[in-house]
A and B are shown apart, each in its own frame.
Chain A
Amino acid sequence: MHGRPRKASEPGEDADSAAKAVKLRSLQSQFMSNHHGKIYTKVAIELSTELLKINPEAYTAWNYRKLAVEDNLSRIESDPDLVKSILDEELSVVESALMQNFKSYGAWHHRKWVLSKGHSSIGNELKLLDKFQKKDSRNFHAWNYRRFVVELTNRSKQDELQYTEDMICKNFSNYSAWHNRSVLVSSLLANRADGFMPNEKIPEELDFVHNAIFTEPGDQSGWFYHLWLLDQTVDVETPLLASSWPSHGCSIILSGPGCLNDSSSKFTTFCSESGSFPLIIYFDQAVGGVSSSTVTIDSELKGNEDLVWEPVSGKNSQVSCGWVTRMKYFSSEPIVRKEYKVKVRVGNSPGIISSRGGCNFSAPCEFFFTAHVHDAAVKDSEESIVSWTDEFDIWDAQSEDLNSFVSLGRLNAEMDLNWRQEALAKEVELFRQLSDSKIGKLTLARLLMASEAMASDDTVKGAHYEEILQLYNDLMALDSSHYQYYKDMHSVAFLHKVTSSTESLSRYLFRYRNMNNLVCLRLNNLSLSRIASVEKLLFVQMLDLSHNELHSTEGLEAMQLLTCLNLSHNRIRSFSALDSLRHVKQLRVLDVSHNHIGKHSVDTTRYLCSSPLSNSEWTQDEVGRQKPSLVTKYWDAYFVLRDMSLKQLDVAGNVIAGDEFNSFVLQVMPKLVWLDGQKLRT
C-alpha cells in the first residue's frame, strides 16, 4: 500500500474492516446486477455514485455511468437544460471521486468523456485545476488534463508559459512545471513565434534556469531543462557532413584477395573477394534520405550507376549518422592496372533530412579521391593466423600523410556560430563558480566538451580535454553511486582527445606487416568502458581494444573497413553485445576471449540485438532445423555469428566456452578456419 505504515492490526480493527468490506461488497453486487440488467433508474445511478465515492477505481462503475448518460440523453435530447443537469451531475461525481483519490485514471477519463459530450461550462475547468494543482503541484493527471483543456479552449501558449513561470517562481522544485515549460518553449521556438528566435530566447531561458540551479544545486528540477537548453545551444538543425571514407583528396589501392608485394605504407590498401569497396559518409547528426539521387558519384569505375545506400546500422533504421554504399571496382573484364578519380557530391538534390527538426542538408558539398586498381594478388594469405603480438610496424608516415586518411573537422561549416559561442562562454564562466557541487562539475564538463565541438579556431582545439578528464575523475569520487556513468563519459572524452589531432592519433597507429600493411589502431590497456569518435576512425582496418572495460561494441558498425578486431580481456557479457559487428561486412578476425560471456543471467543487450524476441529476425536455416534446443540455448550466438564471415575466432576464457558451444559454433560458421588458435581444416 503506497505510503501506509506497516503495523499489526489492533483488536476491533479487523472487525471494523470486515464491516466496511461487507457494506462495499453488497454495494458492488447490487451495482453489478444493475449493470448487467441495464437498469438506469435514478436509484440505480445513485447506487453507483455511492460505490464510486468509496472506490473511485471501480472502473466498471464509470463505464456503467457512461451507458446511463447515453441512455438518458437519448430520451431528452431537445432540452438543453436537462442535458446540462445530467452532465453537471457527472462532473460533480468526478469531483468528489477525485477528492477521494486524486490519481484515479477512471475519474479523470470520465471527466474528459463528459466534456466531449459538448458541455459548455468549460471555463470552470481551469479554475478547478488551479485548485487541484495548488494542492498537489506535481500531479501528472492534473497537468495532462490541463493540456487537454488548454487545447480545447485554444488558450495561448504564451499564457500557459506564464503559468509555468508562476508555478516555478512559487517553488522552483517543480519538475512538472519545468517539463511543461520545455514543451511550450520548444514548440514556440519551432514555430518561430514572436519573441522566440533561438539566439534571443535560449540565452534568456538559460538565465531563468540559473536561479533554480544556483539556489539549490542538489535539486534536480532544473537540471534536465538546463541540459536541454545546452543541447539547443550546440545542436544545429541543419545536418553537416562530418567525415567520409575515402576522405577528400586521398588515394587508395584496391585489389583482389591476398597480399600485394608493393603495397605502399603511404596509402590504404583494400582487398576484397567481392571486388567492391565500401564508400562511407558520416554526418554530424542522424539523417534520412541518403540515396543515389541525393548523393551522386562521378567516376569511370563501371557498374556503379544505381548504387544503394544503407544506414551503417542496417536497413531497419531509417535514419543514421553513417551511410554506406558498395562500389564495384572490378567486373568480369581482365583487370587493367589503372588509376580512377572518383567525385562524390553530397546533397546534390534536396532530400537528406535531419532526424532532429526535419531540416534539410545545408549546402551541397563534394569531395574526391583517387582509386588505384591493382590486378592479381601475389600470394593468398587467407589461411594464415593473425597474431596481435607481433608483425606491427610503428607509424612512419608524416602527419601530412595522415591528413589524407582522416578528415578531421567539418568539411562544411556554415552555421550561426556567434550567439552560440557567446552563450557557451558565459555558461562556462558561470559554472566554474559552482564547481564544488556534482551538477556544477558535470555541467562544466559537458560545457567544455561542447566548446571543443564548436571551436572554430584550430589553435584552441583540444585545450580543454585535460580539465574535462579531471572533472570526470572528481565526479567518480564525489558521486560513487553513478561511478560508471562518469567512467563512460571519461572514456568518451578521452577518445575525443585522442582523435582531436593527427599528432595525438598517430601515437596509437601502426601497420600490420603481414596483411598489406593494414592500418592498425591500438587502443589496448586504456581502461576504456565505451567507444566514441568512430567518425574519425573510418579508415581503420585493424583495431586492438584488448584489456579494456568494454561491455558492448555499440558504435563500431560505422567502421566498415574493419577486418580484424581484438576485444579480448573486456567485459562483454553476451554475443548479443556484438550485434553491431553484424554490419561490419569486412570483419574476418575476431577475438572475444577472456570476457564474461555466459557468466550473467541478465543480458543487457537482449533487446539491442535483432532476434525473434524483438520481432526483427526469424529465418530458419539448416542449423535451426537440426538443433532447435541449442539454438534456444545459444540464441544470441546463433543470430549474431551466422551473419558474420569470420575466418578466425577466439572465445576461450569465457564461461560459455566448451566442447558443446565450440561444436555449435562450427555448425553456425562452416567457413571458420581458426578457433581458439587451433586450425580447423588443412
Chain B
Amino acid sequence: MATKLPATSHEPLLWDYATSKESTDIVEIDSKYGLFIDGKFRAPKSRKYFPTINPANEEHLADVAEAGPRDIDLAVSAARRAYTDVWGPMSGAERAKYLFRIARMVQERSRELAVLETLDGGKPIKEARDVDLPLVAGHFFYYAGWADKLEYAFPGVSPKPLGVAGQVIPWNFPLMMLAWKVAPALATGNTVVLKPAETTSLTALMFAQIASEAGLPPGVLNIVTGAGRTGAAIVGHDDVDKIAFTGSTAVGKMIQSQLAGTSKRLTLELGGKAAHVVFEDAPLDQAIEGVINGIFFNQGHVCCAGSRLLVQENIHDRFVDKLKRRLATLRVGDPLDKNTDVGAINSRAQLERITELVEVGLSEGAEMFQPDCVLPDRGFYFRPTLFTNVAQSHRIAQEEIFGPVLSILSFRTPDEAVEKANNTPYGLSAGVWTSKGSRILWMADRLKAGVVWANTYNKFDPTSPFGGYKESGFGREGGRHGLLAYMDWGEG
C-alpha cells in the first residue's frame, strides 16, 4: 500500500502473541467437486470447472463445477419432483425432524465446517468458529420447530408453500447465508435450488453431504455452483416460483428487473452504508469496542457493517484518538491463527475494489489513518483504515466499500444525527450509543433502517428478523417474519 501513513502517535503493540494456528487436518478437501442435484454429486453437463483458492495465501484448494443452463434445468426439475411427490405432501412434523437432524449434524461437524469456511473464504477462525457456525446450527434448529406450527405463525391465514425456491447467496457468510435461505424454505415445505458464491462454494458442498447423510430426500435441496451466469439461469428459469437473493444492490436491481412481468415472488437482502451514531454521553470504551466490531468484523465484508461513524462534535477528537489506539492493537493476518482479528480479503477483485475506493477517499480530501502492521507476503490483505474529515458527499460516505474502512463524520444535535444517518439510499442497519434510555428509543424510531443496534452492534440471532428499508431490499430473514418470504398466506 503506497498510501499507508505511519502510526506516529500510536505505538504498536509492545508484546506479540505466539502463533496459535488451528489445524486443518480435520478437513478433507476433494480435488474436484460436482453439482449436488437430486441427491447425488454429478459432473456438470457444461463440463466446465473453475478453481477455488484460499485467499489467505492464494493456494489452490479444489476445482468446482460450473453449472450451465442444462444443469439448472436438471436441478429445477429435481426440485419440482421432490416438491410434488415428497416434500410438499410430507407432514410438517416429519419435515421438522429432518431439519432438527441437520441442525444436530452441523453442530457435530462444526469444527470441520468452521475450518473449511476460513480456508475457502479468509475469515478469522475465531469468527467462523464462534459466530458463523453456532448461528448456522441455531438457524436450522429454530426453523425446524416452525415446520409443524405454521398455522400459528400469523392469525387468520392458511399458509401454503410456494413450490421451488431459487436462492443465490454471497461470499461473506457463506454457510450462514445458506442457513438463512435453506432453513425457512424447507421448513415451510418448499424445495430449493441454491447457488453459493463462486469464491466460497466449499462449505455449501460439504453441507450437501450432510443433508445427504441426514437422509434428506433427493431433490429437496440442490446445490449448483457457478458465478453470475449460473445465478441468472436460476432467476430466469420458468419453473422456479420464488427467488431469494442476498448480495449487492446492483445485482439485486438486475434480478428485480429480470422478474418484472412475471408472478415469481422475490425477496432481496442488499447493500448498506450503516450509520453508527455515538453521543457524548455514551460509555466510550464500550462504544469503541462496538465501533471496532461494527466495521472490522469479517474484514468489513458485512452488508450491515457500521461503515459511517457519526460522532458528536464535542467528543470527536477524543473518540478518534481512542479509535486509533484500538486500531493499532488489531491483529491482522493469517485467518487460521486463533488470535487473528482481521483476516484475509475474500478475493483479489474485492481487494481491488477496496483499494480503489480508498484512493478515491484520499483524492477527495479525506484524511486517512492506518496502523503500522505487517501484512503477510502472499494472499489478499488490507490494513484496518479510518478516514476523518469526511464530507457526506464523499464517495466513501455514500458507497458501500465492503471492506475494513471506516468513514468518520460528526454532528452537533440529535436531529442532525438522524438527518445524516438517513442520508443514504440504503436502510439496512444503524447503531446508537448513548446512556440515555429515552434518546435510544427516540433515535430508534427515526432511523430508517431494518435493524437498529443500541449500545451494541452486529448481533444476530435466528429468532430476530433481519432485512432492509429502501435500496437495501425487501423481505425479512430470521424470526417469525422470515416465514413470510416462503409462504402463500392465502389472503388477498
The yes or no verdict on A and B being binding partners is: no
